[in-house]
Chain A
């Protein structure tokens, strides 16, 4: 394949729409006769609804209806195989309140102002109110689940000369995409059309159809632009069902926008994790045992396993290992996947522990990691498809200037400020979801590719255009990309950094089939440009149909016009590798994070100055987009390390800092200088182009690298995130 567009840092094809306010996000939908819905959340976390008095609200101007358990209509549980949903109880299903903010009613009015005013006038009284369990200290409710085991880690630990045994905690975090979760639901008596903030139109359709009790064909889910989600928008949440139910009852389009406060209560969070890590090593740094035991909180009704040990079994070599996970129930809205679920909190713990081990060994932390580089995946006992972790570490060291590090705490200074340097490794899985695509070649010389996946900001629109351009030679500006609609061929969920890897076989397959059709068209019929020739003698290149022997050939669109057809099309399919029972290869991305922090003890000010990141994620389809993903992850990592924690009031169970002034995320001024390098080793075990995915890996390892740098600057080892000022005041 002639490589012209792949690997090019093309600007996004949807850029002009995004910068001009023309990109249509879910809440931008406005329909004739549309009404506004405002959900009401409970103000207790543990009890039940005794009475709900909506009389005053109903009498208010513009109010159309107040929905509650008695009048919302049937909402069912989706069957377990329908698809993914983290809160399986349908909204308003019973009067039991299990978490603060759980929806108890929905006000619908002609305008947003009227609906919000009325919502504040619905009186809800509660009974049987008990103290909520939102305790921070986690202990497993049931026997931990053994994720992986090899050798005899306890015995090896006892026998080893150098040990680390520490517990690390990552707090509840809220995704907080800047786009609020929302639904605009329409119902015409038979068909639901749901404009959703979803990272997965197909899962959403499948689950919502069961919740609404209608066939899948009767639900269409659309999301043309998504204001990101970071996992929070993977699966449906209760407001989706409420909006659809209101549209069903009222037969009017319903717009429901979840407030920022409600987003802390009702659309998931990264659960709190508590992770005990025990490491042991020989004096030369050889890892003799590794135990990683984690607990996370879950909601009162549903299971949620954060799986912090995701990367633990394969990242380093050791003969003796134990990985377990456990859950404990809390009166908190159910957790959900947040960017890099499992591995991100997990690597904070294990990579921090390696840093502590390096100290205990008096060894350079980069050297310690190099020492324990395995030759195969010791967890699954299979070879790696393509692993260049060592190069990430060594190249990162070089770029960062790691060799100039002076090891003693607080020993490095610049411009009167103490510098701290820290390093961490990172890793993230690479796999494919099922995906189908249709590619059409049009008689005007353009192409169209259709796939029911979403662009959540990662650049899927652009990547699809590049793939079609690559396969057909049609300029990428002439490729129209159609996404975000469950009427299109089923595409992958935007999750797990798997979209790019997943779409490649489907799109390339569809493009090839379409090109084949064009060639056949060019040979059939007396008027055809290659009439009478064998299709096998022709090929499609640079947007033209040409003879294999040579010659100029004809533009494909001329052949189409000659035949009086508007288009030829092809379908393509790619199969999932995600969740495969017996993989042949261990397929993962790797990286190294080097961080410099600045510490001014006289004013207790800590800032992250610069980050050098080297990522081994296969081939880059578009380095501009990929770099942006990694830079954005690093920024989120600064927030994770230093600021972010959803705090629950122990008395009411409410997330109390449920707004963007009290739940602090990184601003422009907090962003460090970020230097991203991609190693370019195509991983063709995953797909023919060798592209993996970069949506999450950049966040992994940032918090541990920052924590290591903070230790280096201050002498304070912070094992419970975030690293707030108060934890450093003793330094």
Chain B
């Protein structure tokens, strides 16, 4: 690891002042420290923001929830308002990483975690995301865990998070502070597709800080669930996952939000699939149609063709769980 200067910021203003150049914030450290050890991230300054007072989870006037950027994944997962109002988020968080890591990982850090693509994580391999223009060793290489949706010929890295899949289905908004002031970005606009610039993953500008994530109030009658599929039973990233939030009345789907993980270059939402379900009976047949729509554009790589079928089953099963008994 390269030498770097270490500073601590205890307020947003302090953090923003210290930011700039190739400085990096560190919150839980579970992504940044990992990647610095691998030589993938090489900041010359690290700004410890973990003591800033942004760890709270609180109700907003509209009854939505504001989750501080520094709220630990474990605390959010077990927060009564999350457990009761947004089970999909609680389940997604608890399906991620390990108990220890969830005690460290923060909401903001999780939003900005990087792909687990082995080519990205190994500086000896070509990777356009890490080193633009160097090529992509994952295409035709080890890509079993990588994306089948949203890829480009430059990059097929999958977005690895569970949290952000749930937040996408919940239509969360990211609150940002920066040198130019504050702004809010709907999570659907927060992540970028790799296209020709896989090194740009989000709309966050250098020096900008995520201060919180807000989720709208739970819709009356909505149910939600998160289903994660992987090789082993725990402590592993998703091969495919699905977050579903739905309102079903009298067997008819009134409203549904679907996001999928493990298969896209960003948390994957498909409005067309949601629209196709609206007003339809909550049946296996309809779910299969929706799954077909989500996966219709899939571009499998050499090792991950199975994800098309796996993701379909994942979505159908999640939809079934959420709508059962409704």
Establish whether A and B are touching in the complex (CB under 8 Å): yes
Pair A603/B124 contact, Cβ less than 8 Å: no
* Beta-carbon nearest neighbor of B141 in chain A: A649
Pair A113/B1 contact, Cβ less than 8 Å: yes
The reply on A120 being an interface residue by CB < 8 A is yes
Pair A657/B118 contact, Cβ less than 8 Å: yes
C-alpha spacing A651/B142, complex, angstroms: 11
Which residues of chain B (215-273) have a CB below 8 Å from chain A?
227, 229, 231-237, 239
The reply on A667 being an interface residue by CB < 8 A is yes
Which residue from B3, B235, B237, B305 sits with its C-beta under 8 Å from A117? B3
Which residues of chain B (289-326) have a CB below 8 Å from chain A?
305-306, 309-310, 313-314, 316-317
Which residues of chain A (48-102) have a CB below 8 Å from chain B?
61
Pair B232/A654 contact, Cβ less than 8 Å: no
Given A602-B313, A649-B142, A729-B310, A654-B233 contact (CB < 8 Å): no
The reply on B278 being an interface residue by CB < 8 A is no
Pair A117/B1 contact, Cβ less than 8 Å: yes
Residues in B with CB closer than 8 Å to A61 are: 3
Given A656-B118, A662-B118, A669-B232 contact (CB < 8 Å): yes
C-alpha spacing A650/B302, complex, angstroms: 13
Which residues of chain A (636-666) have a CB below 8 Å from chain B?
642-643, 647, 649-652, 654, 656-657, 661-662, 664, 666
The reply on B193 being an interface residue by CB < 8 A is no
Pair A643/B232 contact, Cβ less than 8 Å: yes
Given A649-B141, A729-B309, A602-B317 contact (CB < 8 Å): yes
Which residue from B122, B141, B236, B314 sits with its C-beta under 8 Å from A603? B314
Residues in A with CB closer than 8 Å to B231 are: 642-643, 664, 724-725
* Beta-carbon nearest neighbor of A600 in chain B: B317
C-alpha spacing A669/B310, complex, angstroms: 21
Pair A656/B313 contact, Cβ less than 8 Å: no
C-alpha spacing A687/B192, complex, angstroms: 69
Pair B229/A667 contact, Cβ less than 8 Å: no
The reply on A605 being an interface residue by CB < 8 A is yes
Residues in A with CB closer than 8 Å to B313 are: 602-604
Pair A670/B232 contact, Cβ less than 8 Å: yes
Which residue from B2, B3, B236 sits with its C-beta under 8 Å from A661? B236
Pair B236/A664 contact, Cβ less than 8 Å: yes
Size bracket of the A interface: 20 to 34
* Beta-carbon nearest neighbor of B303 in chain A: A726
Query: How near does chain A come to B104, taking the closest CB pair, in angstroms?
Result: 16
Query: Which of A43, A603, A607: most chain B Cβ within 10 A?
Result: A603
Residues in B with CB closer than 8 Å to A664 are: 231-232, 236
Which residues of chain B (163-213) have a CB below 8 Å from chain A?
none
* Beta-carbon nearest neighbor of B116 in chain A: A661
Residues in A with CB closer than 8 Å to B67 are: none
The reply on B14 being an interface residue by CB < 8 A is no
Residues in A with CB closer than 8 Å to B125 are: 649, 652, 654
Pair A667/B235 contact, Cβ less than 8 Å: yes
Query: How near does chain B come to A281, taking the closest CB pair, in angstroms?
Result: 36
Which residues of chain A (310-351) have a CB below 8 Å from chain B?
none
Query: How near does chain B come to A411, taking the closest CB pair, in angstroms?
Result: 22
Which residue from A117, A602, A667, A726 sits with its C-beta under 8 Å from B316? A602
Residues in B with CB closer than 8 Å to A666 are: 232
Pair B142/A604 contact, Cβ less than 8 Å: no
* Beta-carbon nearest neighbor of B124 in chain A: A43
Pair B137/A657 contact, Cβ less than 8 Å: no
Residues in A with CB closer than 8 Å to B239 are: 725
Residues in A with CB closer than 8 Å to B235 are: 667, 669
C-alpha spacing A440/B271, complex, angstroms: 79
C-alpha spacing A116/B2, complex, angstroms: 9
C-alpha spacing A204/B142, complex, angstroms: 37
Which residue from B3, B140, B142, B234 sits with its C-beta under 8 Å from A656? B142
The reply on B133 being an interface residue by CB < 8 A is no
* Beta-carbon nearest neighbor of A116 in chain B: B1
The reply on B39 being an interface residue by CB < 8 A is yes
Query: How near does chain B come to A231, taking the closest CB pair, in angstroms?
Result: 23
The reply on A582 being an interface residue by CB < 8 A is no
Query: How near does chain A come to B131, taking the closest CB pair, in angstroms?
Result: 14
Give 1 or 0 for each of A584-622: 1 = CB within 8 Å of chain B CB.
000000000000000000111101000000000000000
Residues in A with CB closer than 8 Å to B234 are: 667-670
Residues in A with CB closer than 8 Å to B305 are: 726
Residues in A with CB closer than 8 Å to B122 are: 654, 656
* Beta-carbon nearest neighbor of B234 in chain A: A669
Query: How near does chain A come to B29, taking the closest CB pair, in angstroms?
Result: 16
Residues in B with CB closer than 8 Å to A669 are: 232-235
Pair A120/B39 contact, Cβ less than 8 Å: yes
Given A117-B1, A117-B2, A652-B125, A607-B233 contact (CB < 8 Å): yes
C-alpha spacing A647/B306, complex, angstroms: 18
C-alpha spacing A647/B302, complex, angstroms: 14
C-alpha spacing A729/B240, complex, angstroms: 14
Which residue from B2, B37, B310 sits with its C-beta under 8 Å from A604? B310
C-alpha spacing A729/B308, complex, angstroms: 10
Query: How near does chain A come to B303, taking the closest CB pair, in angstroms?
Result: 8
Residues in B with CB closer than 8 Å to A43 are: 124
Which residues of chain A (660-702) have a CB below 8 Å from chain B?
661-662, 664, 666-670
C-alpha spacing A43/B137, complex, angstroms: 14
Residues in A with CB closer than 8 Å to B229 are: 603-605, 725
C-alpha spacing A657/B303, complex, angstroms: 14
C-alpha spacing A664/B232, complex, angstroms: 7
Query: How near does chain A come to B255, taking the closest CB pair, in angstroms?
Result: 24
Query: How near does chain A come to B57, taking the closest CB pair, in angstroms?
Result: 27
Residues in A with CB closer than 8 Å to B1 are: 113, 116-117, 120
Query: How near does chain A come to B310, taking the closest CB pair, in angstroms?
Result: 6
Residues in B with CB closer than 8 Å to A668 are: 234
Residues in A with CB closer than 8 Å to B316 are: 602
Residues in A with CB closer than 8 Å to B124 are: 43, 652, 654
Pair B233/A670 contact, Cβ less than 8 Å: yes
Query: Which of B3, B123, B237, B305: most chain A Cβ within 10 A?
Result: B3
Which residue from B3, B39, B140, B306 sits with its C-beta under 8 Å from A729? B306
Residues in B with CB closer than 8 Å to A726 are: 305-306, 310
Give 1 or 0 for each of A116-156: 1 = CB within 8 Å of chain B CB.
11001000000000000000000000000000000000000
Which residue from B141, B233, B310 sits with its C-beta under 8 Å from A651? B141
Pair B116/A649 contact, Cβ less than 8 Å: no
Residues in B with CB closer than 8 Å to A725 are: 229, 231, 239, 306, 310
Give 1 or 0 for each of B1-45: 1 = CB within 8 Å of chain A CB.
111000000000000000000000000000000000101000000
Pair A661/B237 contact, Cβ less than 8 Å: yes
* Beta-carbon nearest neighbor of B310 in chain A: A604
Which residue from B3, B123, B233, B317 sits with its C-beta under 8 Å from A667? B233
* Beta-carbon nearest neighbor of A101 in chain B: B124
C-alpha spacing A462/B29, complex, angstroms: 41
Q: Show 9 residue pairs from A and B whose CB-CB distance is below 8 angstroms, ordered by the A residue.
A: A113-B1, A117-B3, A602-B317, A603-B229, A603-B314, A604-B229, A647-B142, A651-B141, A670-B233
B interface residues, Cβ below 8 angstroms from A: 1-3, 37, 39, 116, 118, 122-125, 137, 140-142, 145, 227, 229, 231-237, 239, 305-306, 309-310, 313-314, 316-317
A interface residues, Cβ below 8 angstroms from B: 43, 61, 113, 116-117, 120, 602-605, 607, 642-643, 647, 649-652, 654, 656-657, 661-662, 664, 666-670, 724-726, 729
**List of 4 A-B pairs having minimum Cβ-Cβ separation, nearest first:** A726-B306, A669-B233, A669-B234, A43-B124
Besides the known contacts A667-B234, A669-B232, 15 further A-B residue pairs in the complex with CB atoms under 8 A apart: A120-B123, A603-B314, A642-B232, A649-B137, A649-B142, A651-B137, A652-B125, A654-B125, A656-B118, A657-B118, A657-B142, A669-B233, A670-B233, A724-B231, A726-B306
